[in-house]
Amino acid sequence: MEFFKRAKKINPVILSAKKDAFSFRINHHRGTTDEALAMLRDEGYEPVPVAWAEDVFTLPIAQRKSIVKTKAYTQNRIYIQNLSSIFAAYSLDIEPEDWVLDLAAAPGGKSLIFSERAKKVSAVEPDKARFFRMKRNFKEHGAKNIQTYNKDGRFIYKTCPAWFDKVFLDAPCSSEAHIDGEVTWWSMRRVRRFSKLQKELILSAYESLKPGGQMVYATCTYAPEENEGVIDFLLSRYPEARIVPVEVPFSNFQPGLAEWEGKEFHPDVRHCVRILPEGAYSGFFMTKIAKP
């Protein structure tokens, strides 16, 4: 099938990796790291710390179902979140006085991270059902500095031009990193449809960013049309935009692709990061962008 041929060409490891762990982080709105870990250990869990973040831990995938019955989870002291997604959110250099825009925010895990670090967060989600679940998520986890908007992120720049110190766009995508076994819903038509949407969203994200600000573009797909192709598009529209190299503290990643199917990308696309699935990491793509 075409998907598997493409995936093998990008990197064969994405077809053979098996998820053997899951990750969670401490929700500091509800308590300290020590308190949450003590609660988990009292119930027989032994979380393994992640080297690059003192408040992020992993456990064997076999314990993923049972942990939701623990007091630490039911009291919202921990938040289960993919390790790749956490790393991308932590890569945004947030200062205490920053106003952060999360442009496609549901279910809200990254907005919760930003809310612990920034003065104010604006979380935008166009889908009404996902929007109200996101609002409930914020309330349950005790975040009081997040504003929520049931809006289409493609047009936020019109009402909020150059407003935000930092912007995060985890764009809707074809979700190729979630394919496990039989492929029934994937198609190139789906890839092209999302690529068009992503290009509209990244322009809105960049226009919403203050001069001197920083943003992260991310997806959970492998398709270069939705990843390097979108960054290449942004750089063609805004040549002044700068791709910021990201220091990656783990080995399961590769730089952005220089070309795909005969199309050469902007040379700075090499600074993009493709996270390869391994352990608690899922396939992911991220790019940090600075606006002069």
Q: What H or E segment, with its residue span, contains residue 234?
A: helix 228-237
Question: Amino acid identity of 285?
Answer: F
Residue 214: beta bridge partners? 166, 290
| Token pair in block for residue 238 | 């805004």
pLDDT of residue 62: 97
The whole-angstrom separation of Cα 141 and Cα 73 is: 10
The whole-angstrom separation of Cα 72 and Cα 176 is: 32
pLDDT of residue 283: 95
| Token pair in block for residue 269 | 């696309």
Neighbours of 62 (CB within 10 A): 10
The answer to whether the bond into 224 is cis (omega within 30° of 0) is: no
Tell me the per-residue pLDDT of 166-197, one tens digit each, with 9 for 90 and over.
999 999 999 998 887 667 778 999 999 999 99
CA distance from start to end of the chain: 43
The whole-angstrom separation of Cα 256 and Cα 227 is: 9
CB 95 within 8 A of CB 165: yes
Mode of pairing for the β-strands spanning 48-50 and 53-60: antiparallel
Domains of the chain and any CATH numbers? 2-13+83-290 (3.40.50.150)
The whole-angstrom separation of Cα 283 and Cα 196 is: 21
Q: Report CA-CA distances (Å) from 66 to 70, 122, 196.
A: 7, 33, 40
- Classify 186 as helix, strand or coil: coil
Tell me the per-residue pLDDT of 137-153, one tens digit each, with 9 for 90 and over.
999 999 999 999 999 99
Place of tokens 């314990």: 63
Neighbours of 190 (CB within 10 A): 17
The whole-angstrom separation of Cα 113 and Cα 111 is: 5
Mode of pairing for the β-strands spanning 164-170 and 99-102: parallel
Low-confidence ranges of the chain (pLDDT < 70): 181-182
The whole-angstrom separation of Cα 157 and Cα 150 is: 15
| Token pair in block for residue 245 | 């190299």
Q: How many helices (H) and strands (E) does the chain have?
A: 10, 15
